[in-house]
Amino acid sequence: MAKPLHLLISRTDAIGDLCLTLPSIGWLKSLQPEWRITLLVKAYAAPVAQACHWVDQVAVLPEEMNATQLSGWLRGLQADHIVHVFPNRRIATAAAQAGIKQRSGVWGRVYHWFNCNNRVWMSRARSNHHEAYLNLLLLSKLLHLPTPSDAELRQHVVDWSGMRPGRSTVKNNHIVLHPFSRGNGREWPVEYFAALAQLMIDDGWQPVIGGTAQDAQAFAAHQALFPAGCLNVMGEDSLAQYIQRIADAAGLVASGTGPLHIASLLGQNGVGLFPPKHGVSQTRWGAIGPANTNLQLPGPCDTVCSNHECACMRAISPAQVWLALQQHLTATLTTDATQ
């Protein structure tokens, strides 16, 4: 019997991007359960990869190694095939030098011409597909596997994502509000999050303000806007703990950032907030879980604005967001009552 393929998938960028690669891994395992899959990630995003039960091994990219050392390290992983889902010149060069037999990437990166022996034409910038589907499409083309439809991806997204915490059995009334995106998405005004928190408290829910220690420094200037009933946990959780906090909560509200996708892939209730601009809209980055709603103004919009000051984001009201989330919360309570 032939040895099962050992596939190394390189995704060494942001948390949200990594999240939206996980469904492709579950899909691969549904077709090729005997394959061994190693996911190559950066250290800060590793807990996301470690939460996926479809991943056989998580390899954390050593940042301090020189080219020769990195090549030797990659050789030690003993992969048969590396797929550069996120293009990275340093990794592509080292993988070729390591002698990994099959090395796959897109034609659009010149360094792949010299370091990959399997390439496909594919442009994300001009596509109207969701990021999760683009990752699946890339892997299917590079691995010569039949491509499922976008509808099939959305139908199976929670199962294919395989995040271990799953839907928690802990019953609490916490709703996570994640106001900052660290520049990765258009941000909803902080004062709107404060108004939303008050609406939640008025209806008997507990808003939990989440984010990193860096976010906590930015939040300090706005904290007085928030009602006293909020629980501020910014900077308190590791990423693994934050994933579990999201799993234990009743829901989450965020713009297009990593925690929104974590909630989505866990099957959690959530509302995502987006501008009607190509490349950063819900079409490309919206939450795609079964209990999610994405709010976005009808578009398109050609106004030039920043991630922190966006008129289209400001036009989404706290009342709209709360109504959208309440619909999911009610559905969950109804389902729980009948089980």
Residues of the chain with pLDDT under 70: 1-2, 165-171, 335-339
Q: What is the pLDDT of residue 167?
A: 54
pLDDT number for residue 1: 47
CATH of domain 6-161: 3.40.50.2000
Candidates 3.90.1300.10, 3.40.190.150, 3.40.50.300, 3.40.50.2000; CATH matching 174-338? 3.40.50.2000
Query: For residues 298 and 182, what is the distance between their CA atoms, to the nearest angstrom?
Result: 25
Tell me how far apart the alpha carbons of residues 82 and 280 are, in angstroms, rounded to a whole number.
Answer: 28
Q: Do residues 260 and 287 make contact, with C-beta atoms less than 8 angstroms apart? A: yes
**Are both 6-161 and 174-338 of the same fold?**
yes
Q: What is the pLDDT of residues 141-196, one digit of tens each?
A: 999 999 999 999 999 999 999 997 645 555 589 999 999 988 777 899 999 999 99
Q: What's the predicted TM-score (pTM) here? A: 0.94
| Two tokens, residue 182 | 């660290």
Structural domain spans, the chain: 6-161, 174-338
DSSP string for 114-161:
HH-SEEE---STT--S-HHHHHHHHHHHHTT-PPPPHHHHHHHHHHHH
pLDDT of residue 186: 87
Nearest partner of 103 among 52, 69, 137, 142, judged by Cα: 142
Cα distance between residue 58 and residue 47, in whole Å: 9
Report CA 286 to chain centroid distance, whole Å. 10
